[in-house]
Amino acid sequence: MGTLTRTRRRREFARKLAFTVVFFIFCTFALVNYQRSKGKSTDASEQSPDDNVMNLILSALGSRNTTAFVKPGQNTLLFDSLILVANNPDKTDNDNRIESLQADPVKPPLFALVVVISEIGHEEERHVIRETWYKWTEKENVRVVFFLGVPPNQDIQNSGINDEVAEFNDVVVDDFEENYYLLSAKVLRMFKWFTTTYPHEGTRPKFLIKVDHDVFLNIPNLVKHLKREETQHNVHSDYIGGRLASSTGVKHNAREDSFIPTELLPDAGYPDYLVGGCYFLQSAVVPRIYEASLGEQLFIFEDIFLTGMIAHDKLGIQLHDVNPAGIVIAPTFAIRLFGWDSKTGIAYHPANAKLMKQYFEEANKV
């Protein structure tokens, strides 16, 4: 009798011990994952912060003169495969551009133009995109263009970009000198390109979609979503949508990710904004944000500056939120463990080559 109870107790103890060990391992794993995901929560964290960050930020921004960075009215394009494709010497660059963006110029304008913000030296990312979600443009009235700047001290003639520009009908290179802290100005150069390419409403795509080159974009779901928005809201010249961020605190501690010196922004919190990995703008709102930003002091985070400070605060434009499962930026532990629904979702960030292929295959399965 006594022996039996002891055996039972021992078994019970072993079971509890095993459970505790498993639980402990799980917690450690979850904690490590949480720390990692926290570190990846915004674009800014790709740079590890140290005591020099403040000087880097302030020297990159200089006088913060947005106009001087963007150079409105000046042609700052170095390469544009869209002109080369249409290649009609009797037409203006813009007409050639529009013609190559719209395979058939008599067709109605594009429903959406997706602009992927990318860089020279990241042809692998562009290649993976062309092999995966880009292919959906064959079935939708949507086009994809890659918008690139120039890395500092880069010999552009030997960068291989010429070949890519000649081979694909989708590369635009601006002379903007790449700088992590000046992404706002780079996206404004893209807005400038969009505004000059489509000066008239008749040729404009309905929507401009801004994504980064590590975003998986489910184009059919995006189109469905925007068409639904068109019937539910009065989608006209002031529609912008994406993943809403509200009540985000400003990190004033130099040791934190996304650190912002008090000199740059003394406020404790940011305005509401749309997270930069993927957002969409009714195309008539693009020139409005572009022009409204020129008189303002440049802020380093592109999404906060353009969709928060300019669109929301200055122009009073409402930000339309997409369901959290629709656009995932910086996935939580649970999402990484159980996966993301690529069949119903719109965008996922960050996506490496493996995820891009996996999500594309999953989404195409019937």
Ligand X SMILES: *[C@@H]1O[C@H](CO)[C@@H](O)[C@H](O)[C@H]1NC(C)=O
Pairing of the two strands 207-212 and 112-118: parallel
Which tokens is 333 given?
Answer: 């532990």
Rounded Cα distance between 87 and 81, Å, is: 10
Angle between the N-to-C axes of helices 123-131 and 353-364, in degrees from 0 to 180, rounded to the nearest 10: 10
Shortest approach of ligand X to residue 278 CB, angstroms?
31
Examine residue 32 and tell whether it contacts ligand X (CB under 6 A): no
Binding piece for ligand X, criterion CB under 6 A, among 64-72, 122-130, 284-292, 354-362: 64-72
Give min distance, CB of 330 to ligand X, in A: 35
Taking the CA atoms of 320, 326, 329 and 330 in sequence, report the sign of the dihedral they define.
Answer: positive
Note whether 68 binds ligand X by CB under 6 A: yes
* The amino acid at 74: Q
Nearer to ligand X, 17 or 68 (CB): 68
Q: Which residues within the stretch 103-132 sit at the binding site for ligand X (CB under 6 A)?
A: none
Report the residue number, 60 or 235, with the smaller CB distance to ligand X. 60
Q: By C-beta, is 292 or 353 nearer to ligand X?
A: 292
Q: Does 65 bind ligand X (CB under 6 A)?
A: yes
Binding ligand X (rule: CB under 6 A), the pick from 67, 169, 179, 358 is 67
Please state the closest distance from residue 185 (CB atom) to ligand X, in A: 12
Paired tokens of 69: 């960075």
Check the CA dihedral 49-51-52-56 and report its sign.
positive
For ligand X, the closer of residues 73 and 89 by Cβ is 73
Strand bridging mode 319-321 / 273-282: unpaired
- Residue whose C-alpha is closest to residue 61's, from 302, 299, 290: 299
Q: How far is the CB of 72 from ligand X (least distance, A)?
A: 9
Query: Which residues are at the interface with ligand X (CB under 6 A)?
Result: 63, 65, 67-68
